[in-house]
Amino acid sequence: MPEIILAHDYLTQIGGAERVVAEWAKALSAHTVVTLAYSPEDTFDDFRHMEVRSSIPRSLANQVERMLPTLPSIAEHTVVSGGDVALVSSSGWAHRFEFKIPHVVYVHSAARWLYAAEDYRLRLSPLRRAGLKASTPLLRRGDLDAMRRADAILSNSLVTRDRMWSAYGLDSVVVSPPVEPVAREARPPARRLPDEFVVIVARDRGYKNVPLAVDAATMAGLPIVIVGAGSEVLDAPEQGVYALGRVTDAELCWVYQRASVVVGAGREDFGLTVLEASLEGTPAATIALGGYLETVRPGVNGFHAASATPEALATAILRARDLDAGACRAWAHRFSRDTHLARLAGVMKEVMHRV
């Protein structure tokens, strides 16, 4: 079996991309992951058992997004070597690493900080927004050169494939992320929750559009549970909003199982949480954009809102909660880990033979 080196932007959070890399590590028996920054306490425990090569000191790991002016240079001097092939998870940075071995880039999103700046810049100060805007043309040229060096490019969804073509003029093969239950057993969170509720799983990012989900749940007459780092500031149980912040996988599994509906309100490139909930028999109500067009099959595991408004999303919530749990599970199993890994293995084998 070839020695596979993993690479990822930075391991400082619990998100869909990090979950994919954690699945790779287990399934591919990978022992090494190269990244810009690593904070063991803030990401999946799976990485504690690996050799993590990070370019930024751990004391600064949680400041990585504030280091934007220097990140392109740091990424370009982050060396990936020592194996037969590198499997690269990128949402904007890891494909820029310096690869000494053949590498396959799996793209979760064309770099938001360059090609979806309206999303990324929401978190920047006015001065840094202006600086990023002024330097974008030069940074895009370097980004394109880095992506062209990939021996193969994979996209996680049709949406991402189209964005890759728009951003880089490069074609890519769609390989959906692996979908597995988030935990083998479910455990209730310490906090008591209502008997019936909807849930949204979203970190503190503007493009996740949590306020839309909250407004829609209120209109549907249902409490909403918010799971994700940074969500605590939204907690308002007197208004039916239960913000749990970061939870364990076992707690997330419990929330998925007990929720009436999982809500998707943001601009997602794939929308992994929808399928994680479907595996537990829970249907989805989402806006009709992005990856949700692939992960939600209307009338099977959820419904799309007719428009991105609280009223339309509330209607989708009320319709979705009556869907069959078995049909939800059957749909989610189409996106299995085995299918994902088989396609990855085929691409990596082809690359190693070609180089």
The fraction of the chain above a pLDDT of 90, given in percent, is: 79
Q: Is the dihedral of CA 133, 135, 138, 139 positive or negative?
A: negative
CA 86 to chain centre: 20
Any domain includes 187: no
Any domain includes 192: no
Pairwise CA distance, residues 7 & 120, whole Å:
22
CATH code for position 90: 3.40.50.2000
Pair (100, 129) in one structural domain = yes
Q: What interhelical angle do 310-320 and 210-220 show, nearest 10?
A: 60
Task: Please tell me the number of Cα atoms within 13 Å of 168 on its side-chain side.
Answer: 25
Any domain includes 107: yes
Q: Strands, DSSP E only, in 58-197? A: 79-80, 85-90, 98-99, 103-107, 152-155, 173-174
Q: Which range has the top average pLDDT, 137-141, 288-292, 308-312?
A: 308-312
The pLDDT of residue 121 is above 70: no
Worst-scoring range by mean pLDDT, 13-27, 30-44, 194-208, 236-250?
A: 194-208
Pair (75, 174) in one structural domain = yes
Pair (21, 149) in one structural domain = yes
Q: Can you read off the two tokens belonging to residue 233?
A: 């500031």
Any domain includes 28: yes
Q: How many CB atoms lie within 10 A of CB 86?
A: 28
Tally of domains within the chain: 2
What pLDDT, on a 0 to 100 scale, did the predictor assign at position 123?
55
What pLDDT, on a 0 to 100 scale, did the predictor assign at position 341?
95
Pair (127, 269) in one structural domain = no
The pLDDT of residue 332 is above 90: yes
The one-letter code for the residue type at 42 is D
Model confidence over 196-241: pLDDT tens digits? 999 999 876 656 789 999 999 999 999 999 999 889 999 999 999 9
Pair (154, 287) in one structural domain = no
The pLDDT of residue 327 is above 90: yes
Pair (284, 158) in one structural domain = no
Average pLDDT over residues 147-158: 96
The one-letter code for the residue type at 176 is S
Model confidence over 76-108: pLDDT tens digits? 999 999 999 999 999 999 999 999 999 999 999
Any domain includes 215: yes
Pair (39, 173) in one structural domain = yes
Q: What is the DSSP letter of 354?
A: H
Pair (171, 239) in one structural domain = no
Pair (100, 231) in one structural domain = no
Any domain includes 227: yes
Pairwise CA distance, residues 187 & 77, whole Å:
43
3-state secondary structure of 50: coil
The fraction of the chain above a pLDDT of 70, given in percent, is: 93
Q: How many CB atoms lie within 10 A of CB 10?
A: 24
Model confidence over 261-307: pLDDT tens digits? 999 998 888 889 999 999 999 999 999 998 999 999 999 999 999 99
3-state DSSP of 221-259: CCCEEEECCCHHHHCEHHHCEEEEECCCHHHHHHHHHHC
Give CA separation, 277 vs 12, 94, 156, 169, 205, in Å.
24, 29, 19, 34, 21
Any domain includes 59: yes
How far from each other are the two terminal CA atoms of the chain, in whole angstroms?
17
Indicate the pairing of strand 103-107 with strand 241-245.
unpaired
Domain that holds residue 259: 198-334
Pair (167, 206) in one structural domain = no
Pair (8, 40) in one structural domain = yes
What pLDDT, on a 0 to 100 scale, did the predictor assign at position 122?
46
Average pLDDT over residues 156-169: 94
Pair (304, 350) in one structural domain = no
